[in-house]
A and B are shown apart, each in its own frame.
Chain A
């Protein structure tokens, strides 16, 4: 996490910005600015922020090339909106909480909501297949949120993603999660967040993994690993169910029934429970993740179990009495 830059440095950066924007800016001043820039990494960081803010305008500059468009933008930015923010809070406050929003909360909201761009999400039980213009495909599993900060950088905030880059990419693709950073130029791999760890499963190609503690490993096709921010597990053989979901299938290969239920649970609202007797079984087979009745029927075909509704919105899988 970047440490905050102190206000004095921000002021200096703003001062240099004003100086350099001036067409009467001299070479001597430019050299002084260069010197200032190289004095401290925070100076550089502050200058990056200046560039970003300037960049917001530059992008608008390109989008609105005609004067009338610029004028319209200026008018939009200069006009007081009919519904001002305080009124909005009034309305919404009454609608939501009966007007009980403290000043501090208002400030938080006010500052916190520059809209983030480039995020994607999936709801419960939904898998989404997307194609990136940068030359790779990706799938999002149920209840996943990602943020794509650039063409080759994806932040996995929640859930599970599978990447397919069959041809070498122009540059390495970086995937970051709370715990680890991954990079790959050509691979098919999935990364899943679960509790405080992630599971990286590589189907094709190679993927570099680096965790927060600086431990790293290169994973090859047919391998998977469990990693936390500070530990790396043993490299294991790739399990099919780590990627079969992209086809909407749970591939169980000698999977304990409780784990089967946990996996199916990810896609469904109904609470899936396993009786103590039934939990001794292991499951083999391919099950449709989005069709629970069908999956349960298939389960009854391969194991001596049956399912019944249980309580409010629940399903109990129990052994069939002989």
Chain B
């Protein structure tokens, strides 16, 4: 049961309390699915995204060790739909990455993209993850990191290819790794255990 305390009619002061995650889920899943479905035409994809939202919400609360009851202050619907938006954007971005990747492969191979790759979902997943981690880095730093990790090039080779000195390559490598590590530790999603 939701107890909503309405103070001065300001949505920021709403407090929603749920007995457990089951209740939170049960009372919010249908409007959220409908809401997402309005924005993206595919219903089963809308269902997937709605589930994803709750998975994140529960994991987040879980890792904060927030046990019963579950309390939200502020506009819960706005909060939940904001998370949904993030996921919708990511799903778009993933599609965009997939399209781009197929284009590039086709270009480089001079043949039809559809013929060449039967299952690229794993590759696209991996590109997406790396893209999230590396996107904020400057081009040269990102490129350095990719050349080293994906092609296994030595620092000397990278320095030559990018026209910079080795000292700089090392500095870029450290910067890129540190950035990725910070992204990871803040994430809390992939726990180290």
Residues of A bordering B, CB below 8 Å: 1-2, 4-5, 7, 10-11, 13-15, 17-18, 21-23, 45-46, 48-50, 52-54, 56-57, 59-61, 63-64, 68-79, 81-83, 85, 88-89, 92, 95-97, 101, 105, 109-117, 119, 121, 123-124, 143, 145, 147, 157-159, 178, 193-196, 229, 269
The complex places the Cα of A89 from the Cα of B92 at a distance, in Å, of 12
The complex places the Cα of A119 from the Cα of B105 at a distance, in Å, of 30
Asked if residues A145 and B51 are in contact (CB atoms below 8 Å), the reply is yes
B71 at the interface (CB under 8 A from A): no
The complex places the Cα of A49 from the Cα of B12 at a distance, in Å, of 38
B31 at the interface (CB under 8 A from A): no
The complex places the Cα of A60 from the Cα of B183 at a distance, in Å, of 19
Asked if residues B187 and A229 are in contact (CB atoms below 8 Å), the reply is no
B180 at the interface (CB under 8 A from A): yes
The complex places the Cα of A57 from the Cα of B150 at a distance, in Å, of 6
B160 at the interface (CB under 8 A from A): no
Asked if residues B132 and A114 are in contact (CB atoms below 8 Å), the reply is yes
Asked if residues B55 and A119 are in contact (CB atoms below 8 Å), the reply is yes
Asked if residues B174 and A115 are in contact (CB atoms below 8 Å), the reply is no
What are 11 A-B contacts defined by CB distance under 8 Å? A7-B182, A52-B184, A61-B149, A61-B150, A88-B92, A89-B89, A110-B86, A111-B183, A114-B190, A143-B29, A194-B22
When each residue 107-131 of chain B gets 1 if its CB lies under 8 Å from chain A and 0 otherwise, what string results? 1110000000000001101111111
B155's nearest neighbour on chain A, judged by CB, is: A22
Asked if residues B148 and A21 are in contact (CB atoms below 8 Å), the reply is yes
Asked if residues B83 and A114 are in contact (CB atoms below 8 Å), the reply is no
Q: Which residues of B contact A121 (CB under 8 A)?
A: 51, 55
B87 at the interface (CB under 8 A from A): yes
Asked if residues B67 and A196 are in contact (CB atoms below 8 Å), the reply is yes
Q: How far is the CB of B57 from chain A (nearest CB, A)?
A: 9
Tell me which residues from 113 to 166 in chain B have a Cβ below 8 Å from any Cβ of chain A. 122-123, 125-134, 139, 142-143, 146, 148-152, 154-155
Asked if residues A72 and B105 are in contact (CB atoms below 8 Å), the reply is yes
Asked if residues B58 and A83 are in contact (CB atoms below 8 Å), the reply is no
> How many of chain B's residues touch chain A, expressed as a range?
35 or more
Give 11 new A-B contacts, CB below 8 A, not counting A17-B174, A117-B125. A4-B185, A10-B185, A22-B154, A53-B177, A53-B184, A68-B109, A75-B104, A76-B104, A92-B88, A115-B125, A115-B128
Tell me which residues from 19 to 75 in chain B have a Cβ below 8 Å from any Cβ of chain A. 19-22, 25-26, 29-30, 39, 47, 51-52, 54-56, 58-59, 62-65, 67-68
Interface centre among A63, A83, A269 (most CB of B within 10 A): A63
If the complex has contacts A21-B148, A57-B149, A194-B20, are A14 and B39 also in contact, measured as CB distance less than 8 A?
A: no
Asked if residues A77 and B134 are in contact (CB atoms below 8 Å), the reply is yes
If the complex has contacts A56-B130, A72-B108, A195-B20, are A2 and B178 also in contact, measured as CB distance less than 8 A?
A: no
If the complex has contacts A81-B100, A97-B81, A145-B55, are A1 and B173 also in contact, measured as CB distance less than 8 A?
A: no
A120's nearest neighbour on chain B, judged by CB, is: B51
The complex places the Cα of A2 from the Cα of B129 at a distance, in Å, of 22
Q: How far is the CB of B72 from chain A (nearest CB, A)?
A: 15
The complex places the Cα of A105 from the Cα of B95 at a distance, in Å, of 23
Asked if residues A159 and B174 are in contact (CB atoms below 8 Å), the reply is no
The complex places the Cα of A199 from the Cα of B65 at a distance, in Å, of 20
B6 at the interface (CB under 8 A from A): no
A60's nearest neighbour on chain B, judged by CB, is: B126
| A-B complex: 4 closest residue pairs judged by Cβ atoms | A72-B104, A109-B86, A57-B149, A68-B108
The complex places the Cα of A178 from the Cα of B133 at a distance, in Å, of 29
Asked if residues B129 and A23 are in contact (CB atoms below 8 Å), the reply is no
Q: Which residues of B contact A269 (CB under 8 A)?
A: 30
Asked if residues A77 and B149 are in contact (CB atoms below 8 Å), the reply is no
Asked if residues B181 and A113 are in contact (CB atoms below 8 Å), the reply is no
Q: Which residues of A contact B175 (CB under 8 A)?
A: 14
Q: Which residues of A contact B182 (CB under 8 A)?
A: 7, 10
The complex places the Cα of A226 from the Cα of B58 at a distance, in Å, of 21
Asked if residues A72 and B55 are in contact (CB atoms below 8 Å), the reply is no
Asked if residues B122 and A63 are in contact (CB atoms below 8 Å), the reply is yes
B170 at the interface (CB under 8 A from A): yes
A269's nearest neighbour on chain B, judged by CB, is: B30
B97 at the interface (CB under 8 A from A): yes
Q: How far is the CB of B140 from chain A (nearest CB, A)?
A: 10
Q: Which residues of A contact B178 (CB under 8 A)?
A: 10-11, 14
The complex places the Cα of A115 from the Cα of B54 at a distance, in Å, of 13
Interface centre among B39, B47, B63, B185 (most CB of A within 10 A): B185
Q: Which residues of A contact B82 (CB under 8 A)?
A: 97, 101, 105, 109
The complex places the Cα of A13 from the Cα of B184 at a distance, in Å, of 14
A9's nearest neighbour on chain B, judged by CB, is: B181
Q: How far is the CB of B54 from chain A (nearest CB, A)?
A: 6
B3 at the interface (CB under 8 A from A): no
If the complex has contacts A60-B150, A109-B85, are A159 and B22 also in contact, measured as CB distance less than 8 A?
A: yes
